[in-house]
Amino acid sequence: MRIALDAMGTDLAPSAEVAGAVQAIAELDDDIHLVLVGNRSQIEAELEGTDVPQGRIVIHHAPERILPSDPPASAVRRKPDSSIAQGVGLHGAGEVDAFISAGSTGAVMAASLFILKPLPGVDRPSVATLLPTTGPPTVLLDAGTNVDCKPRHLVQFAHLGRVYMQDVLGVAEPRIGLLNIGEEPGKGDERAVETFGLLEADGVLDFVGNVEGREIIRGSCDVLVADGFVGNVLLKFYESVAQFIVNMLREEVAKSGAKINFEETFRVLDYSEYGGAPLLGVNGVTIICHGGSSPKAIRNAIQVAAQAVRSNMVKDMAEELAAVHNGGPSE
């Protein structure tokens, strides 16, 4: 398989990208071939001296770069030779099987929607984010891509998250939870009440009911469905509150003289472990990484992309969404 990697996205581009690509080639399966998209001479300089088997990494020259300050949608149109437009273009043309970028999230989304298009039955593709829990991670949809969602959008998120967890995370029968402010049916705002009814009536989903704020961390579902407003507040709060509490503890531990490896203890909270956030619901595999991604985070994103390709995630989503869209599964 061939995976395109935007080499110009991170704060340390293209150094972090190239290092992550080299690491992926060394450690992951032999069928992975990478296309680094970006400034050829800069990428070549970074590749110099590395030991990559012939042909496993090639460069696709893209001289332009979309900046964080560029308005996302128009930037994609006005900078057709940018690494993002070119990279998604390669995917749209079938020359690669997936695209990864740590550049402007808005631009990656805009290019993916415009070039790859949403899958039939998907009104609003959604960036899925993994939340650390006391058990395996829970995928949150939506984490800020879509606000003012209608109940039917939340049901679509449930299906997208379900297929993602099955195909990429290997969860056989993902449990779907609805983020809400009470456990019983009938709790919550109008959107939550109506969404509950739709999820419960869905013939495919294993809907486990409402999930309260305090239940999230206990891993009480595999797919957590929410409007992007509350999802985004939750995600950003999580990152900051974890840091706050770890810092408080760090001081106390230092005072006590104990030796504790915080990085190791809190590895579960390290987002780079998870390898980026996929944009689900488009006709392709698009993975979005943090601008501050390390080589390891890039390597992990390549692993996630490869797994999505290998498992035929997009085809599986298309089939599940088409069945729902047509009023039920075809089986």
> Across the chain, which distance is largest between two alpha carbons, in Å?
63
Span between the terminal Cα atoms of the chain, in Å: 30
d(CA 174, CA 153): 18
Residue 234 interacts with a second copy (CB under 8 A)?
yes
Of the candidates 257, 263, 327, 331, which one interacts with a second copy according to CB under 8 A?
257
Length of the chain: 331
**For residues 172 and 267, what is the distance between their CA atoms, to the nearest angstrom?**
25
Based on the shown chain and the rule CB under 8 A, indicate whether residue 245 belongs to the binding site for a second copy: yes
Q: Based on C-alpha coordinates, what's the Rg of the chain?
A: 20
Judged by CB under 8 A, the stretch of 161-169, 257-265, 289-297, 316-324 that binds a second copy is: 257-265
CB of 199 to a second copy, least distance (A): 17
114 or 266, CB closer to a second copy? 266
Stretch 261-300: interaction string toward a second copy, x if CB under 8 A: x---xx-xx-------------------------------
Kindly tell me which residue out of 30, 48, 51, 148 binds a second copy, with binding defined by CB under 8 A: 148
Q: Which of residues 77-136 bind a second copy (CB under 8 A)?
A: 134
Measured CA to CA, the distance from residue 158 to residue 174 in angstroms comes to 10
The Cα–Cα gap between 257 and 255 comes to 5
List Cβ neighbours of 172 (8 Å cut-off, separation of 6 or more). Answer: 166
| Residue 49, Cβ density class (10 Å: 0-12 exposed, 13-18 middle, ≥19 buried) | exposed
- Host H or E run for residue 39: none
Interface region with a second copy, contact rule CB under 8 A, candidates 82-90, 150-158, 169-177, 230-238: 230-238
- State which of residues 9, 89, 103, 188 lies at the interface with a second copy (CB under 8 A): 188
**In this complex, which beta carbon is closest to a second copy, that of residue 11 or of residue 173?**
11
Return d(Cα 73, Cα 34) in angstroms, integer: 26
Instruction: Select 51 or 251, whichever has its Cβ closest to a second copy.
Output: 251
**Residue 206 near a second copy by CB under 8 A:** no
Under the criterion CB under 8 A, does residue 71 sit at the interface with a second copy?
no
Binders of a second copy: how many residues, by CB under 8 A?
A: 49
Q: How many CB atoms lie within 10 A of CB 80?
A: 11
Choice from 216, 277, 282, 297 touching a second copy (CB under 8 A):
216
Q: Does 20 bind a second copy (CB under 8 A)?
A: no
69 lines the binding site for a second copy (CB under 8 A): no
Among residues 70, 73, 118, 238, which is the contact residue for a second copy, using CB under 8 A? Answer: 238
Distance of CA 272 to the CA centre of its chain: 11
Q: Is 73 in the site for a second copy (CB under 8 A)?
A: no
CA distance 161 to 216: 16
Closer to a second copy by CB, 134 or 330: give it.
Answer: 134
Write out the H or E segment, with its range, that includes residue 254: helix 228-256
User: Could you give the 3-state DSSP secondary structure of residue 27?
Assistant: helix
284's torsion region: left (phi>0), alpha (psi -120 to 50) or beta? left
Q: Which of 74, 239, 270, 326 binds a second copy (CB under 8 A)?
A: 239
Q: In the complex with a second copy, which residue's Cβ is closer, 96 or 127?
A: 127
- Residues at the contact surface with a second copy, assessed by CB under 8 A: 134, 144, 147-148, 179, 181, 188-190, 192, 212-218, 227-230, 232-242, 244-246, 248-249, 252-253, 256-261, 265-266, 268-269
